[in-house]
Amino acid sequence: MASTVLQFDDVSVVRDGSTILDSIDWTVTDDQRWAVLGPNGAGKTTLLQMAAAAMHPSSGTVHVLGEQLGKVDVFELRPMIGFASTTMARRIPANETVLDSVLTAAYSVTGRWREEYETIDERRANRVLSEWGLEGFADRRFGSLSDGEQKRVQIARAVMTDPELLLLDEPAASLDLGAREELVGLLGGYAASQASPAIVMVTHHVEEIPTGFTHALLLAAGKIVAAGPFAEALTSETLTETFGLPIELTEQNGRFSARATR
């Protein structure tokens, strides 16, 4: 039986008098991998912030891993959530080694001191690095890595603690074609594994949706246009409505591409 990881009930977010998210109902279970799409300013990052227990709704209720935001100590919840975003990557010191930047993810959870790093953590960190195509990078400085390598370190950090929910905010943004395909391939392998947690990935491009992803949430101006399995929620029609121009979606072997038809 799948268990519910995220549940949004009639969730709205209002900031400075403007409604950023409007009456969102959304449920994510642990066997689902979601892509969240929508135009700039649609509210995608705001939605992800609530899923990360980093923000409360203005009205409605959000349950994360069975706990209601506002009624739970978020510091207990956050260790169970892996979150990779460019904003978080900016906090990684440029001179920190790749191994340390992945290890510190575990320490920030356990609160252990550097001296108490355990062999088991290092072994796990090295395994996670190789899973994300970063073998041989352990001693490199984070700041010396390419964009593609840095993105993979961000994800390695996020999965280091074996989270029950993995949130990815535009993981392929700014990558060249080769680096994007490498990342999407790795994400696809991860998403397909039974052992992987629920995943929610915000993206601007259907081309960045890995195989193994199952569901789409389309947002426009703070409202849900479509939400559900790809077959019903990710179509030419739903994309056309979401982006406000005629779009044709094609799918081949579990990968998508989209273009405007005028």
Ligand X SMILES: Nc1ncnc2c1ncn2[C@@H]1O[C@H](COP(=O)(O)OP(=O)(O)OP(=O)(O)O)[C@@H](O)[C@H]1O
Rounded to the nearest whole angstrom, what is the least distance from the CB of residue 16 to ligand X in the complex?
4
Q: Does 11 bind ligand X (CB under 6 A)?
A: no
SS3 238: helix
Print the binding letters for residues 29-68 with ligand X: x by CB under 6 A, - otherwise: ---------x-xxxxxxx----------------------
Nearer to ligand X, 24 or 64 (CB): 24
Question: One-letter amino acid identity for 139?
Answer: D
The answer to whether 17 contacts ligand X (rule: CB under 6 A) is no
Q: Does 82 bind ligand X (CB under 6 A)?
A: no
Give the total of residues touching ligand X (CB under 6 A).
11
- The least CB distance from residue 259 to ligand X, in Å, is 19
Residue among 18 and 253 whose Cβ is closer to ligand X: 18
The residues facing 26 across adjacent strands are: 8
Q: Are 21 and 45 in contact (CB under 8 A)?
A: no
Q: How far is the CB of 46 from ligand X (least distance, A)?
A: 3
16 binds ligand X (CB under 6 A): yes
Structure tokens at 5: 């990881």
Nearest by Cα to 103 from 119, 83, 87, 91: 119
The residue (of 44 and 215) whose beta carbon lies closer to ligand X is 44
Closest distance to ligand X from the beta carbon of 8 (Å): 14
Of 175, 173, 179, 181, residue with least CA distance to 201: 173
DSSP string, 163-231: -SEEEEESTTTT--HHHHHHHHHHHHHHHH-TTS-EEEEE-S-GGGPPTT--EEEEEETTEEEEEEEHH
Smallest separation (angstroms) from ligand X to the CB of 247? 17
Least Å from the CB of residue 48 to ligand X: 8
Residue 244 near ligand X by CB under 6 A = no
Q: Alpha-carbon torsion 107, 87, 223, 34, what sign?
A: negative
Q: Please give the residue ranges that form the binding site for ligand X (CB under 6 A).
A: 15-16, 20, 38, 40-46
